[in-house]
Amino acid sequence: MKTFSFAILIVLSLFSVSEISAQTQLNDSIHFDYTKIYAFALDGNPMAAMPLLEAAPAEKIALKDLQFKNNFEKRFRFEEDKSDFLDTRKSKADALLQIYRDYWRSSFLNKEKKNDTLMMKTVVDFLKANFPPAKNLILNEDSIDMYQKKYITALGYHSTGFGKTGSLYDLLVWKTEKDTIYKLRYDGKKTLVKIYFMDDFVTLGWSEYATLGRYYPAGWATKEALFCVRKAYDLKSETFKVSYIGHEGRHFADYKLFPKLKGVGSADLEYRGKLTELSLYSEEGLFKRMLFFINNANYDSENGHSIAAYCVIRDLSRILFHKEFEKDLEKWKAIPAQEINNVAARILEENTKSLKKIPNVVQLIK
């Protein structure tokens, strides 16, 4: 199965979970568990969040929560999407985006039904009908990738091409980008890397759709360069330096170290990126990031990010608590941040040694 040749870091409009939960509400109103709602959505299963939005007739709901409930239900509760998703992002790529929107939604609402073959055929038929150079396009991922890119370029946009983020075919389309050169240091070497800063997005993919715009891919790495969603970061912040430069720089280095390791959304690549983050963060950023990993960890997921989050917390827990998985953040906070940094760095180093022992390694942690 073909995937993008880069790794997507899901989520970085980075607020802490406590900030997510700090919704204005009436003193006696119910309060939605946004942490769980977003975790289900990011795992490609927003329907599982529906029960969390239920309220008894006598219960009051704060205005902000009520607006979220109404918008979420418009998008996912009914047979058709009744939200304003397409209306708020009008572009020359409307028709293609609608195909992807319908595929994402169908996949969310019918988790057991595999829609991939139908999705490929739909895209092929669309490109043949709307893009003359694609008249001889065949039902093949590489061919679809080539002609879809050409089609989007002809419309005046940039895109990631045809491939998957996690278990779903994704579509990211943007209008403008500017590049600059950064100096990264990995494995004892300094490397000059080009970073493209992207703006004016038509779509940021299925995670943006599933979370009503709350979470989305904020950056990724290819073998040639890094790509950054400009609006996701304060470029002077620790989040940018660690969760973007650190994490995506790790992917950039790993593509050369382990070229056969599975591509985007790969649990192994994400495991190494997340360990890199936890080895670098200061105390404040460290525990916010760990809480996000804890809340989004799922070993049984089809999403490499969720699997990797579980494995990172699992392996740290085994060393620092001698148990399988510690989810109580207060217990983590009792450990000096520097100690967690050091253990994360050590696990990453041991993982590197293990991978180097396996010729053409494809996967290791699961």
Instruction: Give the mean pLDDT of 60-76.
Output: 93
Instruction: Give the mean pLDDT of 322-343.
Output: 98
Q: pLDDT of 80-104, one tens digit each?
A: 999 999 999 999 999 999 999 999 9
The pLDDT score that the predictor gives to residue 265 is 59
Cα gap 68→170, rounded to integer Å = 24
Instruction: Give the mean pLDDT of 282-306.
Output: 93
Please, which residues have CB within 8 angstroms of residue 69's CB and are 6 or more apart in sequence? 32, 53, 61
User: Rg of the chain over CA atoms, in angstroms?
Assistant: 21
Are 126 and 95 contacting, i.e. CB atoms less than 8 angstroms apart? Answer: yes
The pLDDT score that the predictor gives to residue 56 is 64
Sequence-ordered alpha helix ranges (H) in the chain:
17-21, 34-42, 63-76, 94-109, 116-130, 141-154, 206-210, 238-239, 247-257, 267-280, 283-296, 304-320, 329-333, 337-356
Q: What is the rounded end-to-end Cα distance, in angstroms, of the chain? A: 18
Q: pLDDT of 103-157, one tens digit each?
A: 999 999 987 777 899 999 999 999 999 999 999 899 999 999 999 999 999 999 9
Q: pLDDT of 296-317, one tens digit each?
A: 999 998 888 999 999 999 999 9
Q: pLDDT of 129-139, one tens digit each?
A: 999 999 989 99
DSSP string spanning 166-201? TTEEE-EEEEEEEEEEEEEEETTEEEEEEEEEEEEE
Amino acid residing at 62? A
Q: Locate tokens 């970061």: which residue?
A: 233
Are 351 and 271 contacting, i.e. CB atoms less than 8 angstroms apart? Answer: yes
**182: β partners:** 193
